[in-house]
Amino acid sequence: MGQQRNSTKENQQGAFTNIEKVSLDNPSLIKRFYAFFFYRPDLDTLDALKGYLARSSAFLAHQNVFEYSRSRAGIHWTALQEDENFLPALEVARWNAFLITNELVGEMVLNVLRKKTWADAQDIAGMIGQLLKEIVLEHQIVAQSGKPRWGEAVQKLPTKMRTEALGPSKKVADIAAPHVSKIFAMLPVHKRLRSHDELLLLNGLRLNLLQLQHEFSIRANHKVLSELARTYQVRSPDPDL
């Protein structure tokens, strides 16, 4: 019975299961040097990459919605936990942000693989776009958002990845900037209390994405992932791509 209850809870949380226990640290030069020579990359399959994308997207959404709201509420956070309207609104905001952070993490991974491998950018984008699409579809049932929003996001993700692959690789800071306003607008915080917090949210997104980029660069088997991208055969319907 106990295992059944835990399984049900995990199904309801999806990628957010135990997300509060996930932490990232900015690796020092010594750690990067050690990892370069001695660490064996563990992201070397499509399933591993897909799991990393989902978990990183959940981490990014949680940090920039849940943790921001808690810090903004301050001493009133405990009282808000008993508010029957606040917690559902917070959960909806977190799932809506998950759609956006899913795209952000996908762009980050795309940029890293473009810089680290010789694989065709459209092959990489096709692979990542398909994995992001699968992640959204798998979380469609547990998410609190409306189905039309999810359906629209599913259709746009592969196209967005391919569009990003047409231009030069972006810096991490440039990846986050166009999306911060959308995340900020969905936060369950009154407009009078927000002040200039959008800039704080942007800095948080940039920092977390930079840490994820460092982590992915170390954990990813670039050679294997580039080969998977070439054999995945999720090409664009446009013959020019």
Mean pLDDT score, 148-165: 82
More confident residue, 54 or 23: 54
Asked if residue 30 has pLDDT above 50, the reply is: yes
Indicate the domain borders of the chain. 43-232
137/77: higher pLDDT: 137
Q: How much is the pTM?
A: 0.83
Per-residue pLDDT of 80-116, as tens digits, reads: 777 777 878 888 888 889 989 999 999 999 999 999 9
Q: Is residue 68 exposed (0-12), middle (13-18) or buried (19+ Cβ within 10 Å)?
A: buried
Whether residue 166 contacts residue 197, with contact meaning beta carbons closer than 8 Å, is answered with no
Ranges 34-43, 154-163, 183-192: which has the least confidence? 34-43
Rg (CA), the chain: 18
Mean model confidence pLDDT for the chain: 80
Kindly report, residue by residue over 172-210, the tens digit of the pLDDT: 889 999 988 888 888 877 665 566 678 888 888 998 999
Is the pLDDT higher at 33 or at 135? 135
